[in-house]
Amino acid sequence: MLALAGLPRTFTTGTALVAGVHRRDLYRLRDEGRLVELSRGVFRKADAPQAGLPDLLAVAHRVPTAIVCCVSAAAVHDLTDEIPTSVQIAVPRKQRPPHIDYPPTKVFRFNEATFELGLSSVEAAPDENVRVYSSERTVVDLMRLRGRLGAPLALSALRRYLGHRDARPGELLDLARALDVLGPVRAAVDAVIAE
């Protein structure tokens, strides 16, 4: 199929339709093992290099505006040993939250004014990046959501972050100020440093 050859390694049904690949051909190719369906409407060529973070890749294609956050971002940045039970993503508060059954996804709605603060990316598959919050933003988000996600998780991530050679506590505090949680984050940083 010439049209399939022109598609990227990971693509959506919509992208395939624009390229001239019919839906029935997509499902036939999936059934033949030439495509892998990562999520509803998200496909990856079977001969593409292995994706290191296929769930993040699938969700990023389903919701291009989303940013990987909280426990999922902490796992990406090695700030936790906790294995996320769902892909946690942030979307702007005014955006309608998506409903994704597979992979299991939890959606957080963040303020539009600060939505892209601390934006970074991670390579989910060779040459395929996914938007994710930076280590600093992740720690701050875990601190601000510690009532929902648990204070032990937030403090453990903060300890690990401050233990990294490339930790930037100043940037962490700047983000905490911008996200209006400077007091609790500064107190936690002081407590961890004093240990």
Residues 6 and 90 in one domain: no
Residues 40 and 77 in one domain: no
Band (3; pLDDT cuts 50, 70, 90): low
Give the mean pLDDT of 163-183.
91
Residues 60 and 40 in one domain: no
Q: pTM for this structure?
A: 0.88
Residues 142 and 190 in one domain: yes
3: Cβ–Cβ under 8 A, 6 or more apart, which residues? 16, 19, 20, 21
Three-state DSSP at 12 gives strand
Alpha-carbon distance of 52 to 83, in angstroms, equals: 15
pLDDT of residue 135: 95
Three-state DSSP at 110 gives strand
Three-state DSSP at 81 gives coil
Residues 58 and 36 in one domain: no
Contact call for residues 67 and 119 (beta carbons, < 8 A) = yes
Residues 98 and 150 in one domain: yes
Q: What is the mean pLDDT of the chain?
A: 91
Residues 58 and 137 in one domain: yes
Q: For residue 45, list its beta bridge partners.
A: 35
**Residues 96-128: pLDDT tens digits?**
888 889 999 999 999 999 999 999 999 999 999
pLDDT of residue 5: 76
Range of the domain at 29: 2-45
Three-state DSSP at 193 gives helix
Alpha-carbon distance of 17 to 11, in angstroms, equals: 10
pLDDT of residue 169: 86
Residues 10 and 86 in one domain: no
Alpha-carbon distance of 28 to 21, in angstroms, equals: 11
Number of domains comprising the chain: 2
Contact call for residues 162 and 189 (beta carbons, < 8 A) = yes
pLDDT of residue 190: 86
Residues 39 and 92 in one domain: no
Alpha-carbon distance of 176 to 55, in angstroms, equals: 29
- Tell whether the model's pLDDT for residue 177 goes beyond 90: yes
Residues 178 and 99 in one domain: yes
**Residues 35-56: pLDDT tens digits?**
999 999 999 999 999 999 999 9
Residues 60 and 148 in one domain: yes
Residues 20 and 68 in one domain: no
